[in-house]
Structure 1
């Protein structure tokens, strides 16, 4: 039976600029992002990955390419591993997107209310439940694989995937601290964090 290991892509140019990336294909990895991907690749190589699947968005695909080359495993791209589509918020500075989200009457809700998994982000984007559903379809397709499968994807997709695997109610899902370049097991534990990222945070 497959054992899923997740890798969040390395830092992208839009991570650095603090922009909402969503399903934009444009932002590539920064130099730091490539170092984070390389550090993740060195660790993943020790795990003996049998397969590598990746989002086809540039920042994830570049990360997966580095991991695949290091592990000598071909990368398979899957659109179901793309980031949560934030619709009209995509490309905005995170601060501006949060202000727009708060001012949107369609998104307004009691701050103490549970997270709404059926709320579409950015009006033209998708809901958390839609993200969960497409990951669940991917997981069903790879369930029959043997050994470790590395999934290179994005922060919110990975958060949602972990909730799906744990069988959590999406309205009260657990939020994990996942940094760029982190390697995470299916229980949501960070099993490797790039020293490059740690150095920047100090």
Structure 2
């Protein structure tokens, strides 16, 4: 029996992704036209699912590309969007707005290469971010036990969920790719003996994008 369910939709393609710059809170300029189309495809898929088995809540972090993604989902599912600072991505400090290759060169590989070292002045460490994000997700899981929750998320938030629920030590390399507008689903299963465990039902599911592209809509 499935009890709690968490569904993560990574934001669509953003302009900072195209420009290959660090899109922190000060410099994120939102989704591209392609990004909007990607999220609309995910929203159409989830709206059909929502009609059969409704989501209880929809959350997004405060960064512009997340709020835009959340708004598309909110309109399609007719579900209020809740913006929560605890779901924002890593703090980039002085790296905000800089080219990623410059940041990675200066930090000898970037956030993942040295998980316990800041990658710029005033930035998080990768391990520190994962601990903070995982702790917030745990609070939401406890709050919404027995419910279905949908997230407009950063790829880093998806990795934080994996770190929490697999579980993995913060900072350990995971190798998980998280594509734009992909769907990742965690389910909490219980059996007749009262035993419960988290199961990763799907990761980085982009079937809806393939269908949209085959139809010539992106």
Task: Normalising by structure 2, report the TM-score.
Answer: 0.77
Q: Tell me which residue corresponds to 1:195.
A: 210
Residue aligned with 1:45, SS: helix
Given the alignment, which residue of 39, 42, 53 partners 2:59? 53
Residue aligned with 2:108, SS: helix
Residue aligned with 1:53, SS: strand
Q: Is the 8 A contact 2:24 2:63 kept in 1?
A: no
Residue aligned with 1:129, SS: helix
Does 1:82 pair with 2:88? yes
Deviation at 1:196, TM superposition (A): 8.2
Q: Is the 8 A contact 2:12 2:181 kept in 1?
A: yes
State the Cα RMSD in Å: 2.6
**Residues 137 and 160 of structure 1: CA distance in aligned 2, closer, same or farther (over 3 Å):** closer
Identify unmatched segments of 5+ residues in structure 2: 187-199
Map Cα deviations across residues 23-43 of structure 1 (whole Å, 9 max, x no partner): 445321110010011011112
Identify unmatched segments of 5+ residues in structure 1: 108-113
Q: Is the 8 A contact 2:27 2:96 kept in 1?
A: no
Task: Normalising by structure 1, report the TM-score.
Answer: 0.83
Q: Tell me which residue corresponds to 1:28.
A: 30
Residue aligned with 1:189, SS: strand
Q: Tell me which residue corresponds to 1:11.
A: 13
Map Cα deviations across residues 90-112 of structure 1 (whole Å, 9 max, x no partner): 211122222222299xx9xxxxx
Q: Tell me which residue corresponds to 1:163.
A: 163
Map Cα deviations across residues 83-141 of structure 1 (whole Å, 9 max, x no partner): 1122222211122222222299xx9xxxxxx9543222313111123322332332233
Deviation at 1:147, TM superposition (A): 2.5
Which has the larger Rg? 2
Does 1:177 pair with 2:191? no
Q: Tell me which residue corresponds to 1:97.
A: 103
Deviation at 1:189, TM superposition (A): 1.4
Map Cα deviations across residues 118-169 of structure 1 (whole Å, 9 max, x no partner): 2223131111233223323322332242322111111223222221221101
Tell me, in whole angstroms, the C-alpha distance in 1 between the residues paired with 2:131 and 2:117: 14
Tell me, in whole angstroms, the C-alpha distance in 2 between the residues paired with 1:57 and 1:181: 16
Q: Tell me which residue corresponds to 1:153.
A: 153
Count of residue pairs the alignment pairs up: 192
Deviation at 1:3, TM superposition (A): 1.2
